Amino acid sequence: MEFRTMTRTTDSRAMEGKVALVTGAAGGIGAAVVRAIAERGGVLAAVDANSVALKETTEALAGEGLRVEGFVADVTRPDEVEATVAAVEARLGPVDHLVNAAGILRLGDARTLSDTDWADTIAVNATGVFHMSRAVVNRMVPRRSGALVTVASNAAGTPRTQMAAYAASKAAATMFTKCLGLEVAEYGIRCNLVAPGSTDTPMLSSMWHDDSGREATVRGSLETFKVGIPLRKLAAPRDVADAVVFLLSEEASHITLHALTVDGGATLGV
């Protein structure tokens, strides 16, 4: 019996010419995702509300010969999101990939968290995902193709002290992305998630009180019921970005409604 094998492109230009829109692109995980896709030949629409940081990031990447263009937008504003997506498609072409990486962190006990901190966290981390996903996927449906990845968090399924708003927002974004993926699967559109744990970004370091923060994060805390990181190291933003790229790629062509956890074992595989 003769067996036929399927080969797929795995070279460094595997996303050649694909248009990708990435939110939260000015720094941290979002910027790492922009770089990872651009290095594989993608054409990047880097979206962020911070115009100064976005300009610095996009100019640095463009200076390396990568195809990256910045678009300033606030994902909490639906009209602004819709206009930005229209501008991206007019200037760069139809969006093939969407990465929802915009996010904020507001710490505080669930009982004393301010209305503003709660509302702002939900607005960016959950409602922002809704706004951008709706605007992009509604354009993907007539084309019957596309892939979306939402950067969620391992906190979406594991309680954390001081992080009620953040965990709730990421849980909402997680289930929204899965429900969306179920509804648009018939159009060949895949919707997945990457759930990072502690990642070496300014968001994480903002939680540290002194120079021992890094070590304490890796070690864990019995007092706050937080397991450490079995791999004994923080994730680098590129670790998360590579997982995002995999889920966008043809290597993951039969994967949808999936959450890929990238946390060094911090949630014990649960």
Q: Which domains does the chain have, with CATH numbers?
A: 19-200+237-260 (3.40.50.720)
CA distances from residue 205 to 157, 201, 209, 225 in whole angstroms, order as listed:
22, 6, 9, 19
Helix (H) or strand (E) holding 44: strand 43-48
- Whether the Cβ atoms of residue 20 and residue 96 lie closer than 8 Å to each other: yes
Question: Residue 116 phi/psi, 5° resolution?
Answer: -65, -45
Question: Residue 23 phi/psi, 5° resolution?
Answer: -90, 160
Q: How many CA atoms lie within 13 A of 91 on its CB side?
A: 17
The alpha carbon of 238 is separated from its chain's Cα centroid by a whole number of angstroms, namely: 12
Taking only the tens of pLDDT, the chain with its 270 residues reads 343 444 444 457 889 999 999 999 999 999 999 999 999 999 999 999 999 999 999 999 999 999 999 999 999 999 999 999 999 999 999 999 999 999 999 999 999 999 999 999 999 999 999 999 999 999 999 999 999 999 999 999 999 999 999 999 999 999 999 999 999 999 999 999 999 999 999 888 888 878 788 999 999 999 999 999 999 999 999 999 999 999 999 999 999 999 999 999 999 998
Q: What is the pLDDT of residue 13?
A: 84
- Whether the Cβ atoms of residue 175 and residue 152 lie closer than 8 Å to each other: no
Helix (H) or strand (E) holding 98: strand 97-100
Catalytic positions, written as ranges: 166
Q: What pTM was estimated for this model as a whole?
A: 0.93
Q: How many CA atoms lie within 13 A of 212 on its CB side?
A: 4
3-state secondary structure string across 189-253: EEEEEEEECCECCHHHHCCCCCCCHHHHHHHEECCCCEECCCCCCCECHHHHHHHHHHHHCHHHC
